[in-house]
Chain A
């Protein structure tokens, strides 16, 4: 399409003579045109628009303004009511027919404001949903990776006995977490449910009292499965625990440090 063709199309457009496909053709040509052709297109269309001055003046009826505004106001309220209606349906459900609004939306008879709002909301919801899912997956993978890696590191350092646990195909690993942030120390546990045995690797503060390794859900009703002392150095403790006793329970290290502080580490098996 050469420049004359484009300008001729622009004139026909301003005269209201183009079909939808021809209008699309013109808009594409406008987008592809250089600045001077664009300016010429505008001038051609301005000239046609200015021809309204060649028409005899005719004043509209004084009631026309109110009619036009009434119709627009009615459409605005209708749009608002429809959107509220949709919002209510979305909240409470129900068998209300939504086809009319969807058809209006698809046919472009819903106000641009609502169309844009719906599209933005839908897109934002999808993005947030996708982002949350990805973030959850990443956090979970990272958490598992850190716990397993830290546990393996501990066990590797604790000698051949612990390595049996580390490389056992049924072994599961868990890191015990302090119940209070000021508690020092750390502990990892490897547990082989098929053999009812576990191995605790702990690095807990020196204490004059013995620590207790307990299992249970309620902190007030824990069952002690092993006691051990700590001189402040890293140490390993093997223990026995049946799979049925361990199932769904938490594993605790409970102790007293410096005669006063309750010392508690806990993890789920």
Chain B
């Protein structure tokens, strides 16, 4: 990140190689069209380049920092465009993806690790799952979710914290996180 902050284009290139697909994956799920997802990826990398000097490895792992910058941009765009992301649940997202799958074999290899995480999310208590999905896929604030679900804000906050605590216990941290 120091090389990026110094304006080294090769360093940006390496950052894209490492995180480009991940950023796109996130953008694809939250943006209404592929074109807008690609525009979003471009803008996210501009933001990463511009804020590289502020990255503090003691504060967050690099992948976490990249994902936070990505989500900030995407949620901001969602609010500006006032559109709903394509799928609002993980099940719907996977169904849509399966329907357009071109290379099922490749999908199967990838899905092992993902499947574990999905199973763990699906076993969360209903409220916790709803809060996670609406916040993560819908970019909705906890206050919005509280109103949509007609639950007190404190209950929604607790549900999110508990859900993350459960996922953290069950999901071993990916090697990329370190």
Residues of A with Cβ closer than 8 Å to B? 4, 7-8, 11-17, 30, 42-61, 64-65, 67-69, 71-73, 75-76, 79-80, 108-109, 111-113, 116
Contacts and interface: CB of A to CB of B under 8 A. Distances in A.
Contacts of A111: 5, 7, 49-50
A72 B139 CA distance: 27
12 contacts: A8-B161, A12-B141, A17-B140, A42-B64, A49-B64, A50-B177, A54-B118, A57-B107, A58-B29, A65-B16, A68-B45, A69-B16
B53 A53 contact: no
Contacts of B67: 14, 48-49, 52
Contacts of B75: 15-17
A64 B76 CA distance: 22
A12 B50 contact: no
A45 B94 contact: no
Given A8-B161, A15-B135, A67-B42, A57 B64 contact: no
A111 B34 CA distance: 29
Nearest to A5: B157
B157 A65 contact: no
Given A42-B61, A47-B171, A51-B136, A56 B96 contact: yes
Going nearest first, the 7 A-B pairs with the smallest beta carbon separation are A16-B71, A112-B53, A56-B97, A60-B24, A49-B67, A16-B75, A49-B64
A95 to B, nearest CB: 29
Contact of B60 (A8, A16, A42): A42
A23 to B, nearest CB: 9
Interface of B: 5-7, 9, 12-13, 16-17, 20-22, 24-26, 28-29, 34, 38, 41-42, 45-46, 49-54, 59-61, 63-64, 66-68, 70-76, 90, 93-94, 96-98, 107, 110, 113-114, 117-118, 121, 132, 135-136, 139-142, 157, 160-161, 164, 167-168, 171, 173-174, 177
B142 A69 contact: no
Contacts of B135: 12, 15, 17
A25 to B, nearest CB: 15
A112 B3 CA distance: 11
B173 A46 contact: yes
Contact of B53 (A44, A65, A72, A113): A113
Interface centre among A7, A46, A52 (most CB of B within 10 A): A52
Given A49-B61, A69-B16, A108-B50, 13 more contacts: A14-B64, A16-B71, A16-B74, A42-B60, A45-B60, A47-B164, A49-B64, A50-B117, A54-B121, A64-B38, A68-B45, A76-B9, A111-B7
Contact of A72 (B38, B46, B54, B68): B46
Main secondary structure of the interface of A (DSSP, over half): helix
B41 A45 contact: no
B28 A49 contact: no
B12 to A, nearest CB: 5
A27 B20 CA distance: 27
Contact of B167 (A12, A47, A61, A67): A47
Contact of A58 (B63, B71, B73, B97): B97
Contacts of A73: 9
A8 B135 CA distance: 13
B173 A76 contact: no
Nearest to A7: B161
Contacts of A75: 46, 49
Contact of B94 (A51, A52, A56): A56
A58 B7 contact: no
B45 A52 contact: no
